[in-house]
Amino acid sequence: MYRCGRAAQRSPRERPALTVHFCPCYVSGMRATARERFLRTIFLGFFPLLLAACAATRPAPLAPPSPPAPPPVFKIPGDPIVLTSAERALGHFLKGQVAIDRGDQEVALAAFEQAVISDPNSTLLRLRLATLYVRQGKLAEALEHCQQVRAQDPTNAEAELLMAGLLSSLNREEEAAKVYESVLARSPKNQEPYLYLGTLYAKQGKFDQAVAVLGKLTHANPRSILGYYYLGQVHAAANQLQKAESYYQKALKLNPNSEIVLLDLALVLELQKKPERAMETYQKALTLNPQSAQVRKRLGRFYLDQKQLDDALVQYRELEKVEADPQETRVKISLIYREKGEYQKAETELNLVLAAQPENDRARYFLGAVYTESKDYDKAIATLSRIQQSSEYSPDARMYLSYVYQRQGKLDEAIAEAEKALLTKKDDLDLLGFLASLHREKGDRQKAIDLLQQMITLAPENDQYYFTLGAVYDETKDKQRCITHMEKALQLNPKNAAALNYLGYTWAEQGVRLDEAEQLIRQALQIEPNDGFYIDSLGWVYYQRGDYAKAVQQLERAAELVGQDPTVNEHLGDAYGKIGRQMDAARAYREALTHAKEEEQKQRLRIKIDPLADDQKATNNGI
């Protein structure tokens, strides 16, 4: 292998990290950090719940929404019956209530719209209509009716709370805060606006204001469990974990059996690197409610994070028993078996899922991955190929298929599948990088260059893309472009060890700027002191200077670290030859020839070996 061709071996970060990008679902589904999971539970999910809480159907009076009409006047048969507006509103109201009881939201919505038309001054009807709009996601319409109710009755707290929740959901947070403050000014003992306003401030990142508002609640009502709980959430979101733990503990003193508080406390303990206490807290929640699917899910994830796969497996097996639909849990169980290397058990679980849910492409994707890892490539290809182009898992399936074909050495098929994935993920940098590596492996370096240039256009500040493009230019023998891109990589990231070494070795290989080359390589070694390829580069600088004794010293160490690399062994042979150790030189050359792949290098090594072999024969014959 000629020198520039093994540069990728010297720079592991240049090579595509295939195992990283082929299971995004696995990574996101099973390996999110405790902090990421915790933050997802706070504030992002709160306002939809807030809105739902505000919009929850409250007990409705059975009486008509407006004052009753006067007693009906006796009419002679045949005369037309004329209903008052209140009577019409009542009829639509009753029709809407019946539709709600039956779960027919469309009929209920139409009925209440007619009821409001019939009696536009009824705040009750408008609020009920607003809640129906919320349930159907028509937030602007719901807000309009809340505003009209507020105009008719400025003291209607129910309308104001729902209105503020709608404003927040529509990202009109400053207006929402003013509405909450208005409610608090009139009803300082009402707990709801404190909670909503505190959470709103936290959502905006105004943690001090959030703490102040919630602190007023707990001061006015020291037995407010929700006040302490939300103070814990706010402090957790602000990464003040010790304070968060303290407030969760205060909430638990008021209600030691609160599952939600126990679960959030356990997550805070995880974030504080207190796994023993976190496990105790999860176990307490489980003891209180052994049938809780939520607790078992959290405890299973905890054991996964702790690499306690068998304990995680126990929790997910128990979770299967309490879930109405256990298929998602079976997928998680399969992933645990996969991580343990028990591929047949993983296959069994995923096939059970697919038997129950034939259209479950997530399970099919994981099954294809399991077949790949067990090296059953034909089944992997058959399984992944069944995922249709319209599926959300299609790009990942095409990517994994490409990877499988690459493992089989079928580069044309690998490229075809990667290009299919690219149709959906046009500007996906990982996919573009993988496709570039396939073209590079195939020897089509111009296509690799084109793709890498596209990546640089999309991410001009990524030093690694410049480095990889420079390495490909080196493979085309375009040294100047190679050097230009390595210099750009170092301009963007002066601590890119691979680029430091590559540029230093390139100058050493050319026999120019040797002092600068040595300085760059030593900088790389400060970052990665035991990289055998970097040490080889330093040895080659000494060789080019004619300091062959130091060259041998560095190259012997490089050979020990790298092992069978043909270029390192060839360098060592060259250095041995310069200090008269011909037998050692011949041995190093033969080792290099054994592992060389490039024909050019093989021919060069044979030329170096032949004279040494003749000298050895002459020595043996006493000539």
Q: Tell me, letter by letter, the H, E, C secondary structure of 38-77.
A: HHHHCCCCHHHHHHHHHHCCCCCCCCCCCCCCCCCCCCCC
Give the pLDDT confidence of 459-476 residue by residue, as tens digits. Answer: 999 999 999 999 999 999
Residue 5 to residue 14: CA distance in whole angstroms: 13
DSSP state of 325: S
Which is nearest to 11 in space by CA: 484, 499, 350?
Answer: 499
Give the pLDDT confidence of 68-108 residue by residue, as tens digits. Answer: 445 544 444 555 566 788 888 888 899 989 988 898 989 99
Give the pLDDT confidence of 334-380 residue by residue, as tens digits. Answer: 999 999 999 999 999 999 999 999 999 999 999 999 999 999 999 99
In the chain, the amino acid numbered 145 is H
Domains 32-58+85-187 and 498-623 alike in fold: yes
Contacts 24+ apart (CB under 8 A), 146-150: 149/123
Structure token digits, residue 336: 């645990």
Pair 554, 542: CB distance under 8 Å? yes
What pTM does this model have? 0.63
Give the pLDDT confidence of 548-587 residue by residue, as tens digits. Answer: 999 999 999 999 999 889 999 999 999 999 999 999 999 9
| CATH 1.20.58.340 applies to domain 32-58+85-187 | no
Contacts 24+ apart (CB under 8 A), 30-39: 30/304, 30/332, 30/335, 31/304, 33/305, 34/267, 34/270, 34/271, 34/305, 35/271, 37/267, 37/301, 38/236, 38/264, 38/267, 38/268, 38/271, 39/237
Pair 418, 399: CB distance under 8 Å? yes
In the chain, what are the domain boundaries?
32-58+85-187, 498-623
| CATH 3.40.50.1370 applies to domain 498-623 | no
Which is nearest to 462 in space by CA: 419, 502, 499?
Answer: 499
Structure token digits, residue 507: 């100058």
Report residue 79: phi and psi, to 5°: -70, 145
